[in-house]
């Protein structure tokens, strides 16, 4: 577990939870868009990039919170 200011640790945990929720919501929205015959390919690509960026940030933050566990 990360040592240091408990308020910073708590803030990081809240940010991590928020990013996981956003990642899941993006995944659901991408799925809804792709099954629609009238979806915007460019918007889907942007959402997929955002989802990938979020995943990378989630992984980084998890490693900061618990560096001994492979995230």
Q: Does residue 11 lie in a domain region?
A: yes
The pLDDT value recorded for residue 9 is 92
Number of domains in the chain: 1
Instruction: Decide if 52 is inside a domain.
Output: yes
Dihedral over alpha carbons 52, 17, 4, 7 (to 10 degrees): 140
pTM, full prediction: 0.83
Give the confidence band of 69 by pLDDT, cuts at 50, 70, 90: low
Question: Is 33 within the bounds of a domain?
Answer: yes
Q: Per residue in 1-12, pLDDT tens? A: 556 789 999 999
Q: What is the pLDDT of residue 2?
A: 53
Per-residue pLDDT tens digits for 45-59: 999 999 999 999 999
Domain membership of residue 42 (yes or no) is yes
Evaluate whether residue 19 is within a structural domain.
Answer: yes
Residue 22 and residue 54 in contact, taking contact as beta carbons nearer than 8 Å? yes
Q: How many CB atoms lie within 10 A of CB 35?
A: 8
Q: By percentage, how much of the chain surpasses pLDDT 90?
A: 80
Name the residue range of residue 33's domain: 6-65
Please indicate, yes or no, if residue 70 is contained in any of the structural domains. Answer: no
* Burial label, 45 (beta-carbon count in 10 A; 0-12, 13-18, 19+): exposed
């Amino acid at each position: 577990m990360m040592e240091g200011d408990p308020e910073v640790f708590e803030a990081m945990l809240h940010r991590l939870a928020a990013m996981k929720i956003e990642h899941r919501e993006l995944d659901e929205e991408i799925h809804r868009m792709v099954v629609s015959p009238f979806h915007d390919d460019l918007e889907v690509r942007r959402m997929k990039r955002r989802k990938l960026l979020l995943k990378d940030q989630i992984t980084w933050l998890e490693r900061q919170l618990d560096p001994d566990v492979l995230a």
